Structure formats: C-alpha cells, structure tokens
Chains A and B, each alone.
Chain A
Amino acid sequence: AAMLKCGMNGSQVKVFGKAVQALSRISDELWLDPSEKGLALRSVNSCRSAYGCVLFSPLFFQHYQWSTSVEMNDNNRISNLNCKLGIKSILPIFRCLNSLERNVENCKIFTRSDKCKVIFQFFCRHGIKRTHNVCFQESQPLQVIFEKNTCSNTLMIQPRVLAEAIVLFTSNQEEVTLAVTPLNACIKSSNEESMDLTNSVYSEMFVGPDEFDFFQIGVDTEITFCFKELKGMLTFSEAIRAPISIHFDIPGKPIGLSIDDMLLEANFVLATLADEPSRGSSPQSTCLSQKRKRSDVVCSNSKAGEKNSKVTEYVSGKAARKRLYPDETLTDISTLENCGSPTVKRVNRDITEVPESSVSDTEEVPGSPYLRKFACMFFGALSSDPREHFDNPFDNLATASDSEEDMNNGSYSTS
C-alpha cells in the first residue's frame, strides 16, 4: 500500500497550518500528495479557475517517508497515495496556530492507502497527546502546468505592499485588475464588475517600480482575476516572511504567484479574464498567445528520464473552457478513462489537437456570471516519454472523480 509518514516540531506545524489555511481559500478539498520531492498539498476550486499547491521539501520535516504501492494484479499497476481530505475536517485541527507552536513538541502525520484515514498526532507539553483520525477519499490529485519562465511579465513584491493594496477593495467586489507598463503598476477595481454594480466604489492604486523587489515588464497589459483566493496566499507569505513572485502575460493567460523558500515552494495559479475577440486584441497578441499556449501544455516533464521511477504523474481532469480566439485549436486535455493502450498513446502524443467537441461545457458557477468568461486552467499530462506508455499504459491515466460523464465506454473520438 502507498504510504506517507512524516513528523514536524511546533514551529513547522505552524507553517504547515498556515499553508492549509491558505489553500482553504481556494476550495473545500485538499489533496495530500507525497513524492520524492516532498509532500505537496494541492487544492483546486470547483470551477477550475484557481489552483494552489504548497510543496514541502523532505528537509522541511523532522522525518519524511513515503512510498507508492505496486499492485500485484494485472500489469503491475503502480499507484500513489490518492488522498483527498475535506477542508472542514482539517482546518479545526490547525486552529490557533500560535498556541500550537507553543504547545506542540511533535506532530506526526501518518496514512496508508489501504487504511482510508489520515492520522494526525500532536504530542504536546505536559504529556498530552492529541490524535485526529480524518477519513480521506480516494482521488487522484489534479495539477496545473504553468511555465513561469515563458511569461512576459515578472514582478516580485513584499507581501505587505500587496496586502495594503487588497485592503482597498470592498468585500463585494471579487475581481481586481492589474495593469502594468514598464513605468509602473496599477491595481484597480475591475471595470466590468464596477459598471454592473451601481453602487460600487471604483478604486485604483499606483505602485512605482521601486516598491518591487523585481520589476520586469515585457508587454503592457491589463489582466483581471479573482483576488479572494489570493488573500490566503498573502497571509501565508507574511507568515513565512518571503516575497511573492508574480508571473503573468496577456489577458486570458493565467497568472501565477509563487513563494520560493529553501524548504518549501508555494504556487498559486489563477485564471484571468480573457478579452473578447470583439474587443480588438491585436493580431500580434493572438499569435503570441497561440505560441504560448502550446508551450504551456506540452512542457517537458522533468521525469522523462526516470523511466523506472516508481512515481506516476497525474493526468488532467477535464479543463472546461471557452474558446479564446476563434482560429485556434483548443489545447485542452480531456478526461481519460482506463482504456486500451492504442487510444492512450494516441492521445498523449497528439495532445495539442484535442478537439473542442470532446470537452464538455464550462461549468456554471451559481451566482457569479463573470466566472463564465474566465479561461480555465490547463491541466497537464506530464510524461512526454512515449516509451513509458508502452510499458505502463495505465500510468498516465486518471479518472478525475467528477468527470465520468465525458466518456462513453472509453472510446475517444477525434472527429
């Protein structure tokens, strides 16, 4: 059985708890995803427009052990710990982090894929031992591919400055627009939202380049995204006292925010509002985005060389999205079910030619008309080594737990 076992001291628990709190802003569910890189906590929101991941390196923990399982039935399937937890079960465990830091001497997290539960044990002062058993749901984690290095614009900012900007916006405004030129950056209320809500205040704040630790603008742009999910990330970065790197491009392409510390790495990727074609996006920007899209999705997998690696990569769930540019082929990855190997191979190689017809409609999110226009995330199949598919045809397949309806008997049409 796949297994995870790790231990932390009081101050590490505090950081871990802050990560859980930050991810709780994104969705109600959290994946525990161990690998040799460390323990990743992942979260995706229901309309797939926001993704968060905090990866704790093995060095972060006092001790860290994990393993996959090899099932001895057909074809030696390797499976990972596919562990999804409800955030409502976890948050109360990591409440009052300051007091946890003071009182907890040791915290152990242990789970096995055959046990259906994760055990959190806190060894506190005065000989008190607190144990929480949290049932988990078996579910393959979703992951987003976001190529930071190909983004035209990169900023690095201290969390305090960003926090001051966020305070400007009223709680009933969900979206914020970031407008940049090589000379300055402006954070302002989203125009679309302001115009529809007749009573809303329109706010804007200009921030000069010298307030940023790093300020590189390749293309003047204005991108709009939901910032509620950001607030958790801000608190997290303030807690670990690390600056935030922001990578973004043109409207429609996701914005990535990351924190890189020696012991952990946090990545939050948010969808941005796409320009309607009628708004006259220039031909140049269209080409730029086409090129970018391809490189985003078909990114080389660092594991390509590890043919014998025990770890499997995860394939997308469906990425439901609207077309951004009429002429372009969508580069969606649709859900794949366990099916015969010829189909699998074909899909994995022709990743960029997935037709729109196989993608179901954008999920409607009740009460928020704006989110319909958001481009959703790319979810990537990561292994680009075709040989790996021959040996282990089921390696890169995942059934996202909520998208069975896409497939009819596993056959995949490319018409």
Chain B
Amino acid sequence: MKFRAKIVDAACLNHFTRVSNMIAKLAKTCTLRISPRHLNFILSDKVASGGVSMWCELEQENFFNEFQMEGVSAENNAIYLELTSENLSRALKTAQNARALKIKLTNKHFPCLTVSIELLSVSSSSRIVTHDIPIKVIPRKLWKDLQEPTVPDCDVSIYLPVLKTMKSVVERMKNISNHLTEMLHLQIIEANRNGDLNLKIESELVCVTTHFKDLGNPPFASENASQDRNPARMAEVHVDIRKFLQFLSGQQVNPTKAICNIVRNKVVHFDLLHEDVSLQYFIPALS
C-alpha cells in the first residue's frame, strides 16, 4: 500500500483545508478512502454516529499536482484509513502560507499519514513542518459497509435556502427545545413540490415554525411515480435537532448547490456541492 500526493497551488491548498475543516465539524472520526481518481471522507451509519451517514467526494486531479497510490491489491485498488478528523484539519491549519504540501502514508512506529509543509518565511530559508497523524488501516472485509450510499426515492426534493439563515433559525429552536423536556430534541423538516420548506418544533404548549417560500424544486423530482398529485402536500420527517444543527454548523461557506430530499418518516438526505466537492449527508428519522 502506498500513497504520496502533493499540492503546490495556494487556492487548491486553501480549498482542501476548508474541506478538511468541514469534515472535522461533521464527524469526529471518519474513514478516508483513497482511490486512483478520488478521495472520499466517509461516515457510515453505525450506531456510534446515531445513524447519520456521510459521503464526501473530491476528484484528486482538482487538488493535487502529484498523486500516486497503490491499493491493497490490483483488483482492490483502494486504501481505507480511519482517522480523527480534527488531526488532519489542525495539521492543515499550519499550511496557510505554504509553498508546498505533501501527504504520504508512512509507518513510523505505527501507521501514519504524514503531512509535510514547506512554509514561506520572511528570511530566505524556508521552514519545514511535519505532522505525523496516527491512522488505522481498515481491513478489506469491512469495506462493504463503507460504499457510496444509494440515493433513496424521495417524496419531495427541494432546493435549500441560504444555510447560514437556516443555521441561526435551527440554533434558536434548539435552545428552546432544551428547556422543554417533552420536545426531546425533535426537529420537524417538511417540504412540498411548490418550493415551500418548514422547520418546526412543537410540544403541547408551544409550536414554533419558520417558513421558507419560493425555494424551487429540482426538475427530476417531478418524474417520480410515487409522488402525490397534490404538489402542496408536505412530506415530513422528524429528526434529532442536534444532528441537524451539527450538519449546518459544518458548512462554513454557502454551497454552490444544496438540495434536500425527504423520504417521508424515514430519512432526510442533503446533497451539497461546494465548488467541485460533493457532500451527501443522511439523517435518519427518529422513531
């Protein structure tokens, strides 16, 4: 198993750092999958994550000007590593004004992802910073749990409003729900094919709703045979508000594209595109 890659472009480096920061906010521990054309950050829907799963994909060509990898075997030409997301984002933080960044798989006492940064300094000499991030290699037999999730047939598909606005709304709702025990951190997300999206928290005593209108629905959704005839009918899903807030907090920059797919009472699927990095995030319904 081998992996070596290098970034020299400042914009690519900053973009990669932003992606890493986002992953660090979304998942404490995640899987990094390295394949010839892609890098993926994966969180599978195990009990530990409370059923939340994530699939983030970037095309390595868009970031690295050098990229070499050799997977476990010729038929299984991929590497699956488990790492603490924050370790990577912190290491990249020091690459703010770097001349070059190298990442490689090493084995110093234990397997590591070594991030090596060549910093520009005021004087003529450049400074070299190295970070050895401990990782765990995930064995082949566990790979089946870490594959790209299938997009479910959804009841409603809708474009999201500005995420920052959603985040501040959800934050306030979470604060309220903290005080009312019967709410059990429940967030209701509902949307219809008329471009309406509602975020709701409700209990016996109080109900707070924020309405977003005229959001627009992606075109393909209307082709789905299981859709109702009535476009105004809401499809709703009840999720844990804390998980929803965590997802929104991870989005530092407003994405290029953001779609929300709801499968009534089952799951909500967020499909985002940050420039050329795609992120899919699934939050299951609370039973």
Chain A residues with CB under 8 Å of chain B are 164, 167-168, 170, 195, 198-208, 210-211
Q: Are A168 and B129 interface neighbours, CB within 8 A? A: yes
B residues near A167, Cβ cutoff 8 Å: 93-94
Which of A199, A205, A210 sits near B128, CB closer than 8 Å? A205
A residues near B121, Cβ cutoff 8 Å: 211
Q: Are A201 and B128 interface neighbours, CB within 8 A? A: no
Q: Are B132 and A202 interface neighbours, CB within 8 A? A: yes
Interchain nearest-CB distance for B130 vs A (Å): 5
Chain B residues with CB under 8 Å of chain A are 84, 87, 90-91, 93-94, 108-109, 112, 121-125, 127-134
How far is B119's CA from A206's CA once the two chains are assembled, in angstroms? 10
Which of B124, B130, B132, B134 sits near A210, CB closer than 8 Å? B124
With A167-B94, A210-B123 known to touch, is A198 a contact of B134 (CB < 8 Å)?
yes
> Closest B-chain residue to A210, C-beta based?
B123
- 11 A-B contact pairs sorted by A residue (CB < 8 Å): A168-B131, A170-B87, A198-B134, A201-B131, A204-B129, A205-B130, A206-B128, A210-B123, A210-B125, A211-B122, A211-B123
A residues near B93, Cβ cutoff 8 Å: 167
How far is B94's CA from A170's CA once the two chains are assembled, in angstroms? 12
With A170-B90, A201-B90, A201-B91 known to touch, is A206 a contact of B127 (CB < 8 Å)?
yes
Interchain nearest-CB distance for B98 vs A (Å): 12
State the 8 A-B residue pairs at the shortest beta-carbon distance, nearest first.
Answer: A208-B125, A202-B132, A205-B129, A203-B131, A210-B123, A201-B87, A206-B128, A201-B133
A residues near B123, Cβ cutoff 8 Å: 208, 210-211
B residues near A202, Cβ cutoff 8 Å: 108, 112, 131-132
Interchain nearest-CB distance for B24 vs A (Å): 12
> Closest B-chain residue to A167, C-beta based?
B94
Q: Are A211 and B125 interface neighbours, CB within 8 A? A: yes
With A198-B134, A208-B123, A210-B123 known to touch, is A203 a contact of B91 (CB < 8 Å)?
yes
Q: Are B125 and A201 interface neighbours, CB within 8 A? A: no
> Closest B-chain residue to A160, C-beta based?
B122
Q: Are A208 and B91 interface neighbours, CB within 8 A? A: no
> Closest B-chain residue to A169, C-beta based?
B90
Which of A198, A204, A208, A211 sits near B130, CB closer than 8 Å? A204
Interchain nearest-CB distance for A316 vs B (Å): 41
Which of B127, B129, B131, B134 sits near A211, CB closer than 8 Å? B127
Which of B125, B127, B129 sits near A203, CB closer than 8 Å? B129
> Closest B-chain residue to A171, C-beta based?
B90
How far is B127's CA from A205's CA once the two chains are assembled, in angstroms? 7
A residues near B122, Cβ cutoff 8 Å: 211
Which of B125, B129, B134 sits near A199, CB closer than 8 Å? B134
Q: Are A208 and B84 interface neighbours, CB within 8 A? A: no
B residues near A195, Cβ cutoff 8 Å: 109
Known: A167-B93, A170-B90, A201-B133. 10 other contacts (CB 8 A): A168-B131, A198-B134, A203-B91, A203-B131, A206-B127, A207-B127, A208-B123, A208-B125, A210-B124, A211-B121
Q: Are A168 and B128 interface neighbours, CB within 8 A? A: no
Interchain nearest-CB distance for A115 vs B (Å): 47
Interchain nearest-CB distance for B192 vs A (Å): 45
Q: Which of A202, A207, A211 has the most CB of B within 10 A?
A: A202
Interchain nearest-CB distance for B113 vs A (Å): 10
Interchain nearest-CB distance for B31 vs A (Å): 16
Interchain nearest-CB distance for A220 vs B (Å): 19
How far is B72's CA from A245's CA once the two chains are assembled, in angstroms? 51
A residues near B130, Cβ cutoff 8 Å: 203-205
How far is B84's CA from A87's CA once the two chains are assembled, in angstroms? 36
> Closest A-chain residue to B29, C-beta based?
A199
How far is B121's CA from A207's CA once the two chains are assembled, in angstroms? 10
How far is B108's CA from A256's CA once the two chains are assembled, in angstroms? 33
> Closest A-chain residue to B84, C-beta based?
A199
A residues near B127, Cβ cutoff 8 Å: 205-208, 211
Q: Are B94 and A199 interface neighbours, CB within 8 A? A: no
A residues near B131, Cβ cutoff 8 Å: 168, 201-203
Interchain nearest-CB distance for A166 vs B (Å): 11
A residues near B132, Cβ cutoff 8 Å: 201-203
Interchain nearest-CB distance for A168 vs B (Å): 6
Q: Which of A198, A199, A201, A205 has the most CB of B within 10 A?
A: A201
A residues near B94, Cβ cutoff 8 Å: 164, 167-168
How far is B131's CA from A205's CA once the two chains are assembled, in angstroms? 9
Interchain nearest-CB distance for A240 vs B (Å): 20
> Closest B-chain residue to A207, C-beta based?
B127
How far is B128's CA from A204's CA once the two chains are assembled, in angstroms? 8
How far is B125's CA from A207's CA once the two chains are assembled, in angstroms? 8
How far is B93's CA from A164's CA once the two chains are assembled, in angstroms? 11
B residues near A170, Cβ cutoff 8 Å: 87, 90
How far is B128's CA from A203's CA once the two chains are assembled, in angstroms? 11
How far is B22's CA from A234's CA once the two chains are assembled, in angstroms? 30
Q: Are B129 and A201 interface neighbours, CB within 8 A? A: no
How far is B146's CA from A286's CA once the two chains are assembled, in angstroms? 56
> Closest B-chain residue to A209, C-beta based?
B125
Interchain nearest-CB distance for A210 vs B (Å): 5
How far is B127's CA from A170's CA once the two chains are assembled, in angstroms? 19
Interchain nearest-CB distance for A204 vs B (Å): 5
How far is B94's CA from A202's CA once the two chains are assembled, in angstroms? 14
How far is B134's CA from A170's CA once the two chains are assembled, in angstroms? 14
Interchain nearest-CB distance for A208 vs B (Å): 4
